[in-house]
Chain A
Amino acid sequence: MRIIHVVVSPLIALTVGVLFLGLSRKIIARVHRRYGPPIYQPVIDVVRMMSQRSISHGALFELGVVLSLAGSFVTVLFIPLGGTEVSRELHPLAHGVLCPLCGSGGLLVVIYLMLFSPLGLALGAGASANPNASIGVSRKMLLALAYEVPFLLVILAVMSHYGTISFTEVVARQQQGNWGVLSVPLSAAAAFLILPAMLGIRPFDMATAPQEIASGPLAEYGGPYLALIAVQKAVHLFVVISLFVDLFLGGGVNIITFLLKMLAVFLAAEMINAVLPRFKIEDAVKFCWKWPTALAFLQMIITVVSK
């Protein structure tokens, strides 16, 4: 059973992630009053790129991409993707928790596994010997430092509110009582404010800015490598949004409700993406360290005091 879960979870992440990418282009086009590409356009792109030939700057240039995508897939295995153990009688369609490796380390491992994909891309980009790539990586690192400060406060507030480091336990406690968005509301607000930064979408897309630094780390990539990076972006999108749903919206009693909640969060984030222009990196750092950090900090004080 667990083996099946291990295979199914990444496949769900892949399908939904790619679908969301297509949806994203469609939504932005509609907001801009264009017609937009078909929703399956990313699939076409990936298949086309897989057949094209790219240049290569050596083994690390290629392995960095592989490491990045593998890291994202493994992260998916540690995140509960819907399902419940606590309220199965109440919901006829509920199933057991879909999280094959939740028992191997909990939320702390998720935080660290999420390092693999930026690190892999940074290594590959560094091996490409293109200064645009290096500038992009430097921006990506700074942005990560900027949003990790509030993000860690958020995760710690949630973990100390529920008194556990186990991810399934956090979800189960929400399904029994209030959702996280009600019991730790300021953390939820902070997490939503940094959501675009974690996803790397506008107004926080300075790391891969096409017009300024030739897409940064992606500058030298093409063909199958670029296809894998596109897939990585999709899986990463899935990881971040599912984290939000699990931490604040009580996960889902089954995979369908889980995906519906994800869709709602994704649409909200896309609305910001569609209308805001890009920040400068300094402003992004200042923003992340101001409002989201203040909110998350306040929530953590409340959590510690009320314990």
Chain B
Amino acid sequence: MLPAIILVIAFGGTGLVYLAGRVHPRLRDVLAVLSSLVLVGVISYGYGRWGQLTWFSKFLGVDLSLRLNALGWFFSIYIALINACSMVFSLSYMEGKERLDFYYSMMLLVSASMLGVVLSGDFLSFYIFWEIMSWSTYLLISYKRGLALHAGMKYIVMSLVGSCVMLVGILSLHAQYGTLEIVELRGLLAGASGGYIAFLLLAMGIAFGIKFAILPLHTWMPDAHSEAVSPFSAVLSGVLVRMGMYGFLLIMYSLVGIKTILELGRGAWDFHLLFSWLGALTIVIPTFIALLQDDAKRLLAWHGIGQGGYMIIGMAFGTSLGVAGGIFHTINHGSYIALLFLVVGAVEYRTGGVRDLNRLGGLMQRMPVAFLGCLVGIMGLIGIPLTNGFVSKWVIYKTLIMEGRPFLAFMAFVGTWGTVLSVYKLLHNMFLGQLPQEYSKVERSPLSMQIPILFFCLVIFVFGILPGIPLRVIQGVQREMGFEPLELTLWGVASDTGALNMLNICLALGIAFAVVFLVMRLGPKGRKVSQDDSYAAGSYVPADRYQHSVEFYNPLYRMISPYLKDRADQFCYWIADRIGGLSDSTRRIYTGYAGTYVLYIVAFLAFLIFVQLVWKTW
């Protein structure tokens, strides 16, 4: 019963919020936040209450069913939390913008359809919710009109290609086995041939890969992110893209099964190794492209693609530890990338829509909470110890090294260093250095922005220091899929071949920090000076032009930018151009003059007569 209740609340909330907007805007805001918070409550109540129900029998001869299991619950709570946070953030961010009834109900519709995807028990409901998700996302991406329409179009075209391929996969399942029930299919697929499994993985994999933005299929993402409004970017990059991860987990381990996946292909064509290498490329190339970006949201979007590579490597590797790392990295990434998009949103809100990294600076003095959010967010993104990103990366690295894949581990590590450089640039160019005169009166972010930012900071540290809490839930997910359980402690991973103890690291850092701080306090206290009172080796300093942020890593740009063209994007545009040209030449047939059509008819009749005269066909 529970999955049905969750979906009724989610979809009901959507309609209700739209109607409330007609009555009073305040009522709409309250209802939107309330319904997203109620969802969090109901879903967390559902932990451990697994079950399945049929919600529509014999739709086109197939029973539509919903189910709640460990994997579905894990993703549901993650969707609901991030959505609730971005709802609260929207309150002030969206204030005074147009078509707000539409915006709020679409935000709720996106999260409702995502909940539908992770709670469906058969592939037809899965497909229906997947399509609702794609379309509502399209509407939200193009919310701002203008350039956003182009970004939305790019997204929906790629998304439709994916849906079509996925439909082929689903139909083949139905033709083969006569059912779409995931639990039943799991048993039936055990006897399937390797070729059919490969076909199925490819068909579904393309759809999930497009949503997930794996390397050659990523091209919609940077545009979509830079054009969407910030609270939606947080949802988009934090959870919506990760529906692809849910899809991969579903077909690879819930449907096909771990043993078949690991035995699929041989030699150089070993499936899980090829997939891991795709993940490795997805880490390195986008991360270094991110380094070249000057638009804060575009930079984060490229990191969103790059971090996906870690999840793919962990998941594709197929060991208990690796898959745990991949799943854990999914929620960790959700927490800090959502946080960073919200921070950029807060800066945008206070500076009047500026997110060009060359025009900001010094905002730390004016917006301390946003700065804190940005700092914690980039620490998570890099994976500095004490943040949750560190634990999941540690788990993935350990898998790769212990399984004897140092080159994959190397790719993952280099990606981390690319991240260090580009996110420091993000932090520095927005919050550090000199505060330009035009922003000297900027105010702090409003409370409704501070609450989600601080909430995410808390999550990042709690999961980083006590990773046993989320890992225990992941253990349940893995048990369901048939993995050996991990040896866990509350503060890390227990193992003979190298354990992890975050509590020790935390204590050591805390004590060292306190001791050094006290030593510093032994000396005389510093005299506070203004930012213009700085050492310039005796040269004249023009006011307001004293910030090093444009081309922050100039020497490196010159070295690497020739190699980092987005070839996949260029290829897609080339295809789009060709199709456009083809359609255009087809259009020329229809000139709109009656005379031309008469000419066509006469020519056609002449052709028929000619055929009849020569070959006597009739």
Which residues of A are at the interface with B, using a C-beta cutoff of 8 A? 6, 10, 49-58, 60-63, 65-67, 69-71, 73-74, 77, 101, 103-106, 108-109, 111-113, 115-116, 119, 122-123, 126-132, 134-135, 137-138, 141-142, 144-145, 148-149, 152-153, 156-157, 159-160, 163-166, 214, 219-220, 223-225, 227-228, 281-282, 285-286, 300, 303-304, 307
Contacts and interface: CB of A to CB of B under 8 A. Distances in A.
A52 B417 CA distance: 37
A100 B432 CA distance: 37
B364 interface: yes
Given A109-B505, A165-B497, A303-B406, A223 B526 contact: yes
A55 B530 CA distance: 10
Candidate in A49, A112, A281 with the most chain B CB atoms within 10 angstroms: A112
B540 interface: no
6 contacts: A74-B508, A74-B509, A105-B492, A149-B417, A165-B402, A224-B522
A160 B524 contact: no
B414 A149 contact: yes
Given A122-B424, A220-B534, A300-B406, A104 B505 contact: yes
Contacts of A303: 406
Nearest to A115: B384
Given A71-B509, A214-B535, A300-B407, A126 B394 contact: no
User: DSSP class of B's interface residues: helix, strand, loop or mixed?
Assistant: helix
B466 to A, nearest CB: 14
Given A65-B520, A142-B553, A165-B398, A70 B417 contact: no
B497 A164 contact: yes
Interface stretch (B163-171, B328-336, B541-549): B541-549
B82 to A, nearest CB: 26
B166 to A, nearest CB: 37
A165 B384 contact: no
A160 B406 contact: yes
Nearest to B514: A70
A134 B534 CA distance: 13
B531 interface: yes
A105 B505 contact: yes
A214 B537 contact: yes
Contact of B404 (A6, A138, A145, A307): A307
B382 A129 contact: no
B552 A138 contact: yes
A129 B434 contact: yes
For the complex of A and B, list the 10 residue pairs with the smallest distance between their C-beta atoms, beginning with the closest: A56-B526, A224-B523, A126-B432, A134-B548, A104-B501, A70-B512, A129-B531, A131-B548, A165-B498, A70-B513
Interface of B: 362, 364-365, 375, 382-385, 390, 394, 397-398, 401-402, 404, 406-407, 409-410, 413-414, 417-418, 420-421, 424, 427-428, 431-435, 492, 497-501, 504-505, 508-509, 512-513, 515-517, 519-520, 522-529, 531, 533-537, 546-549, 552-553, 555-556, 558-559
Nearest to B382: A115
A54 B433 contact: no
Contact of B534 (A63, A112, A129): A129
B417 A144 contact: yes
Nearest to A52: B524
B534 A285 contact: no
Candidate in A119, A122, A138, A307 with the most chain B CB atoms within 10 angstroms: A138
Contacts of B407: 300, 304
A137 B425 CA distance: 10
A130 B535 contact: yes
Contacts of A104: 492, 499-501, 504-505
B417 A228 contact: no
B563 to A, nearest CB: 12
Given A58-B365, A101-B504, 15 more contacts: A57-B529, A66-B516, A70-B515, A71-B512, A105-B501, A111-B413, A112-B383, A126-B431, A127-B364, A129-B432, A131-B434, A134-B549, A144-B417, A156-B406, A156-B413
A220 B537 CA distance: 11
Contacts of A103: 499, 501
A61 to B, nearest CB: 8
Contacts of A61: 526
B553 A138 contact: yes
Nearest to B499: A103
Nearest to A73: B512
A129 B556 CA distance: 23
A119 B546 contact: no
Contacts of B534: 57, 128-130, 219-220
B360 to A, nearest CB: 13
B285 to A, nearest CB: 15
Contacts of B527: 53-56
Contact of A112 (B384, B531, B546): B384
Contacts of A163: 402, 404
Contacts of A285: 555-556, 559
A149 B524 CA distance: 41
Nearest to B432: A126
Candidate in B432, B519, B553 with the most chain A CB atoms within 10 angstroms: B432
Nearest to A282: B555
A119 B501 contact: no
Given A66-B513, A71-B509, A109 B394 contact: yes
Contacts of B497: 164-166
Nearest to A112: B385
A164 B498 contact: yes
A145 B413 CA distance: 11
A307 B406 CA distance: 12
B126 to A, nearest CB: 38
Contacts of B533: 55
Contacts of B536: 130, 132, 214
Given A53-B527, A66-B517, A134-B549, A145 B508 contact: no
Given A53-B526, A134-B549, A159-B406, A129 B516 contact: no
